[in-house]
Amino acid sequence: MTNGLSAAAQPHAGVAEPAPDRIVSVSMAPYDGYHLAQALASLASIGATHVEPAFIVGYTDPFTEDAFLPERAAQFRRQVEASGLGCLAMSSHMDLGAPGALEIFTRRMEFAAGIGARVIATNAAIRPNAAAFFSSMETLVPLAERLGIVIALENPGDGRDNVFNTAADGLELVARFGSPHVRLNYDAANTASHRPSFGDFAADAILALPASAHAHIKDLCATDKGWFFTPIGDGVIGCDRILDALVQYRGLPVSIEMPLRFHRNAKAQPVRREQPVPLAEIEAALSRSLAFVRERLGRNQGRGRLP
């Protein structure tokens, strides 16, 4: 683990604030390799108001299923509250059609509810696991209703054919389940590596908004070595267009996700750095991104309509 906190890079002074009914969270993904207390203190120091915990196998420091015990949830919640941050959403991506997924994701849903989150983001399933996915959801949807949380299905970025590849697939899934507890958490940067020939990634994200409970705002640049994540607005995704479109959905929460410690190679597979990203680099990138997102949402404040 990396120790110590750097001086935070501060957001630009005087930027417009987003509408007060919209929560802008920041994912803990860039803090891969840091202790929870360090990450929370850093987020608070750069002016974040909400944190999105990230428990994603292979993308962050290894963890066991013991991480989701009830006592761990209570401890996690106390630390978040002590930092002065809120927690609306949690990421815990997995294939819900894989063997053992029902039991595993049940624990993660209970943990999410235990830390106060109201949204849990996950992948659906690769196409060969479709039948098992729909079978698992027969149990998971009623559980979400009892826990008072939303399962927010997210499109993947690894290139493997999935039940949810693009917005059209997601819209179909939401209609099929017909429950307010199953919605989308569309990520346009995932589509860039998952379906690079698709073209207009921002347009597909905008198409998904009516069926979304949450949205990941993530940017990247494409090179011959793969896809590398950047501060919001610096990449090729068109995050400005997505944020502008959100004016029509004033209450829809978003989260800045920037997994700086890894990139996707030319085959769309994640490659993780050996060492954590320096804290000063994380804070500078997140501060710039927060300023960009808040300014873009704030400039449209009051001009939209509720869906």
Q: Which segments in the chain show pLDDT lower than 50? A: 1-19, 302-307
Beta-strand relationship, 89-91 and 262-264: unpaired
Per-residue pLDDT, 20: 54
Q: Judge contact between 248 and 220, C-beta under 8 A.
A: no
The predicted model scores a pTM of: 0.89
Parse the chain into domains and list their residue ranges: 35-216+237-251
CA–CA gap between residue 219 and residue 257 (Å, rounded): 8
CA–CA gap between residue 236 and residue 202 (Å, rounded): 9
Per-residue pLDDT, 76: 97
Per-residue pLDDT, 303: 40
Per-residue pLDDT, 60: 73
- Sign of CA pseudo-dihedral 185, 186, 190, 195: positive
Per-residue pLDDT, 250: 83
Per-residue pLDDT, 9: 30
CATH class as words, domain 35-216+237-251: alpha beta
